[in-house]
Amino acid sequence: MRVLVTGAAGSIGRVVTTGLAASGHDVVGLDLVPPPDGTPFTWHEGDCADGDAVEAVFAEERLDAVVHLAGIPDEASLPDELTSHVVTTAALLDAMVAHDVPRIVYASSNHAVGRTLRADGTLTERALPRADTYYGVAKVAAEALLHLFADRHGIDAVACRIGSFLEEPTSVRGLSTWLSHGDCVRMVEAALSTPAPGYAVLYGISANTRAWWDLEPGRRLGYEPQDDAEAYADRVEPGPQDDAEAAFVGGPFATAQFHRPALGA
């Protein structure tokens, strides 16, 4: 499969491009920055929020699928978040329709539902949108766009609500929300290859003993996580924020430090 990976130079992008290439996919990278030294696959430097730049990439490459990882990974102003997550997703979807590219795998986030109370139990894919930040609001809107294009244009779109993508868990919350590097690649490969998903949501975490989120939506799409954060539990020190971070699904994003006074702040 010839796969365009946006945000290819980012932390998830580097792992996913390496993993997809190792499984025999033909990877095309797209990022704001030049390729890391030694990058063995095609690379385009450009901004996914620029529809013309995105169209130029699609006009040059014959693509089978898109893995959209580009975007600000933290809280920022609402306009910046909407540009980074929604405008980029729209530009890619428009180009997909124009060039008959049938599938997109999207790096959504647990923060789309981050204000859900942990006390409400294990989170399923049917949880209502409940963002904890402008970042989460933008992820909700990007998911809505994917669903619209699935309904309107028949695009297959898998929104992966990623937890904490790290080499290993570093906090007590992370023992529940961790996504290992290997499982991240397995998740993307499953989302690329599952037959006719239409619009689907999965939770991007490893098979963590203390998982807060349902792995079944992912398993239905062929995502079988292999790692478990519990293997690192004895290396994780308890911290003063642990209780606060356990109150809501979104952990620190749902705590007071992320509350902003104005939409553009």
Q: Which residues are catalytic?
A: 135
CB of 166 to ligand 15L, least distance (A): 8
Give the sign of the dihedral formed by CA 62, CA 162, CA 222, CA 21: positive
In the complex with ligand 15L, the residue whose CB is nearer, 163 or 197, is: 163
Nearest-CA neighbor of 202 among 225, 182, 180, 181? Answer: 225
In the complex with ligand 15L, the residue whose CB is nearer, 218 or 251, is: 251
CB of 229 to ligand 15L, least distance (A): 12
CA 176 to each of CA 109, 116, 139, 169, 179: distance values in angstroms, whole numbers, following the listed order: 15, 15, 21, 9, 9
CB of 221 to ligand 15L, least distance (A): 20
CB of 117 to ligand 15L, least distance (A): 16
CA 132 to chain centre: 16
In the complex with ligand 15L, the residue whose CB is nearer, 10 or 197, is: 10
In the complex with ligand 15L, the residue whose CB is nearer, 163 or 217, is: 163
List interacting residues with ligand 15L (CB under 6 A). Answer: 73-74, 109-111, 162-164, 177, 251
Question: Is 233 exposed, middle or buried (CB count within 10 Å of its CB: 0-12, 13-18, 19+)?
Answer: middle
